[in-house]
Amino acid sequence: MLNRHHISRRDFVGASALNMMAGVVASTLADPARAAAQSAGIKKGDLPDLTIKEVKVYAVDAEKMGGAKESGVEHIAAIVTSGGIEGNYTLASRYWHPNWSNLGWLDYAKPLLTGKSVLDLPALTSQWAPIKRRLGQLSYASAIDNCLWDILGKAVGLPIYQILGAYRNRVLAYGSTQHHDKLEEFVTEAQQCKAQGFKAYKIHPPWEQLSNGAYKHDHHLDIEIARAVRKTVGDDFSLLMDPVGIYSRLEAMEVGRVLDELGYVSFEDPLPTKDIDGLVELCNAVDVPVTIGEFLDSPYHYGEYIRRGAMDEVRFVVDNVGGITGGMKLAQMAETFDMQCQPHNWGNAFDHAVHFHCELAMPNNTWFEMTLPQGFSDRPYVKDHIRIAPDGYVYAPTKPGLGYELDRDVLDKMTVRVDS
């Protein structure tokens, strides 16, 4: 039976909603510098000199990360203004799509940015060009966008979300699992999360990558895990499921119906994102909201999914959709279509921060995704740690820009070279 959520949302996707989309981008995104100045109670002309004088990349010894358990080198983008304000963001590769790699970012960003002004942020990061819209969002522009927002916040002494338009100062968190091997591991971790104050828990079920690159999974085991975790945490605890696009249509249907029975609140990436027909069929068949978007590589690719009813909740990774600017455009688009927006939060402190600011500025969001175990995302060179409070919420940062301050002494010791 088609639930009311599907009916109201799909009826809404008509001519009036499409017309409303034309005005969905707020003046904040059209002129971020003016918004920053207004948020600080000054005029745009009173902002400090935001001419970009330097673009560089810190290469950090990742073997010293401790709990991060990474090897090799981690790269951090740095854009510096004439006034000495520095904006930063991580430069990590993204999944398996070539457009999601930040290799070569410096060669792209340095000639583009040097001598330009942060005041021109939209022009420096926009992907509104036919070939870019067709091929997908370039992650280079996303990293630039995040750095420039960091600079704007620091320039006016405010966290980014307050410039975007603060809707709240906290977001309810769910614990987001690793792909554990055994049912018992999920049950134990769910118990621990509830004891720590979490009000929700998301399962990334077991999988095994084979030598040919394929992934082995057992959706029947996933169902057992879903049932066991529900029994463990009780009915008043929110649960989410994310198999990361690995199911067949029949498997997704079977798991989805069990999630309906168990009262799960999100079924994320049950099918490969490219299977739009399968997603439409699944959305019509189950009540649990189907959450899609993590594997869409451009903000311009969401329209067909919304028009056809192939997603119930919108998800995005800012690196894939144009940075904070692209993420907020998608959040506003989802709001226009009466849909929830559930940003991705996996990764290090910078990854958490950019999505957190979007969540704090949007009304149509419920969750902060906290990578488990808490502390997994910490970096020694970042002074501030992201944790849930005893009430289950993550509270907004108070420091300017991204809000999580670099420890320069530690960063200097961990930096093996600076590329410029």
pLDDT at residue 122, as a whole number: 93
Partner residues linked to 216 by β-bridges: 208
Query: Is the Cβ–Cβ distance between 57 and 76 less than 8 Å?
Result: yes
Taking the C-alpha atoms of residue 402 and residue 373, their distance in angstroms, rounded to an integer, is: 22
Query: 188-193 contacts: CB < 8 A, separation 24 or more?
Result: 189/372, 190/229, 190/232, 190/233, 191/232, 191/233, 193/372
pLDDT at residue 26, as a whole number: 59
The distance from CA 2 to its chain's CA centroid, rounded to whole angstroms, is 29
Domain 163-395 CATH assignment equals 3.20.20.120: yes
Taking the C-alpha atoms of residue 216 and residue 193, their distance in angstroms, rounded to an integer, is: 27
pLDDT at residue 192, as a whole number: 98
Which CATH number is associated with domain 33-159+408-419?
3.30.390.10
Taking the C-alpha atoms of residue 80 and residue 114, their distance in angstroms, rounded to an integer, is: 9
pLDDT at residue 97, as a whole number: 55
Query: Is the Cβ–Cβ distance between 142 and 390 less than 8 Å?
Result: no
- The CA distances from residue 259 to 126, 172, 207, 274, 416, in Å, are 39, 21, 19, 23, 48
Reading the block at residue 264, the tokens are: 């799960």
pLDDT at residue 100, as a whole number: 63
In the chain, residues under CATH classification 3.30.390.10 are: 33-159+408-419
Question: pTM of the prediction?
Answer: 0.91
Reading the block at residue 375, the tokens are: 């502390």
Taking the C-alpha atoms of residue 344 and residue 218, their distance in angstroms, rounded to an integer, is: 25
Residue pLDDT tens, the chain, 420 long: 334 344 334 444 444 443 443 343 457 999 999 999 999 999 999 999 999 999 999 999 977 665 444 457 899 999 999 999 999 999 987 655 555 678 899 999 999 999 999 999 999 998 887 777 777 777 899 999 999 999 999 999 999 999 999 999 999 999 999 999 999 999 999 999 999 999 999 999 998 878 887 778 999 999 999 999 999 999 999 999 999 999 999 999 999 999 999 999 999 999 999 999 999 999 999 999 999 999 998 899 999 999 999 999 999 999 989 999 999 999 999 999 999 999 998 888 999 999 999 999 999 999 999 999 999 999 999 999 999 999 999 999 999 999 999 999 999 999 999 999
How many alpha carbons lie under 13 Å from residue 40 in its C-beta half-sphere?
23
Query: Is the Cβ–Cβ distance between 259 and 286 less than 8 Å?
Result: yes
Amino acid at 241: M
In the chain, residues under CATH classification 3.20.20.120 are: 163-395
